[in-house]
Structure 1
Amino acid sequence: MGGLIRSWPMQTHYSVPEFNKTAFNCPHCGAFAEQKWSELRCDIFAHQNDWELGRTLELLKNKGYSELDAAHMRYEQAGGIFAAICAHCKKYSYWLERKMLWPAASTIEMPNPDMPEECQKLYMEARIIAGQSPRAAAALLRLCVEKFILALGGTEKKLADGIQALIDNGKISQAEQEYLHICRLIGNDAVHPREISLSDSPEIVLPLFRFLNILVQRTISAEKERSNFIAGLPSNIQQKITAHKEAGAADWDK
């Protein structure tokens, strides 16, 4: 079965679990893997003992039903419930009316689409396991913060130093610095528990997902929107903006 996982093309984005999809990121293990689907059926003769079951099948045979007909009569469809088994972890997800019943869909928001790809992967891993292991999720989010700082031009030194470098370079505000330090400190305690017991207070981890999305919005998304807006301005205004940037002029009326 492992070969089936390796045979899929290289995956670069998170693939959302969807009904009847042949492959997606498993809601249990997070791996991108083949999903084999089957419709659940129930045994309507399950309440019978072996002797009673034998008698029932014999009666059906005497009435002219074949063994195949009897099997179809015995196993009825279970109300349109489907199961998909992951080729990687061998765990099932269960679906009704094209919606996943189990495991319960995460209520944690999806990552900002402008989040760097490597950060998105870590975010999604943390999102999948947050309910089962808040500590592991916090550790992954700390790593996500490290990658995010590097994407903004920070250093590969200590995480606290990387955050300070972004402040010094004017890449983030004091408020954004606080968000990053909160993620760093909670992530530190996930790896080396000191003051916070994440097993006792899993709700502490959930806001970190929101913090990261806010950070991406205020930095990458905001800059992207600003650049797109300027690109749509008349050329004479664009030239003035460029000239003032190069001159470092404070007075825009000059």
Structure 2
Amino acid sequence: MKLQISHQTNYYYGELAQRSVQYIRMTPMQLPHQIIHKWDVMIPKVATNLKDGFGNNWLTLSRNEAHNNLQMQASGIVEINTDTERLEDMPHVPYLLFTVQTPLTKCSEEMREFAAPYLEKPTLDSLKSMANALIMKMPFVKDVTNVGTTAAESFAIRAGVCQDHTHVFVGMLRDKQIPARYVSGYLYDETENHMASHAWAEAWLDGFWYTFDISNQAFQPNSHVYVAIGRDYLDTAPVRGVRMGGGYENLYSLVLVSKLA
């Protein structure tokens, strides 16, 4: 299935920023089940193109002139194999790395108690059951969390978005030393377009990575475009950086994903 993707992100600052450095992850990964036919990222000036330790494409944008906004447009065509059921490991990133908790995924006692019945003898079916129970326990609700909300905090308030569902699920698995990783990217949904990039979890079982999209209860990557893989949101954030000055900022983001005939 070929998908046309457009991702527009605009930051507007309340004051002039004198300097800024931004790390931009808006380029899909080349994977066995995912082919990048065309991709462009338009940003204010030439950036350095690198790969991080997880193999994610990473643009470093440095601006030393005064500016009051940051505008980025990523777009292209990606083809995914809709028959893909699971992913093989990447040799340059040992799967055991994803058993280590981060501040965003650390498991609370409440999360541990919730997960216990499903992780006593973890299987693909038991993890799917846990994913289903999690969305019932913690419905998708916008504007109650932010990018700094931890798994324990979002689980405690019983609500969150895809990022929170992924942090909670990953945190519960890692607490039992089951490798679990955070994935960010784009989701094709024929009924609607998502206003932002998407996030889902993957768990290492029987020598393969299996998809657990908690928010959509999807367990195969047949509608998912992989942009970045990491331990949590901070490893995969589309834009992350620092600036000198600028005051408060407003963010406008729009993602459009459509199927090509």
TM-score by length of 2: 0.23
Higher strand share: 2
Which of structures 1 and 2 has the bigger CA Rg?
A: 1
TM-score by length of 1: 0.23
Higher helix share: 1
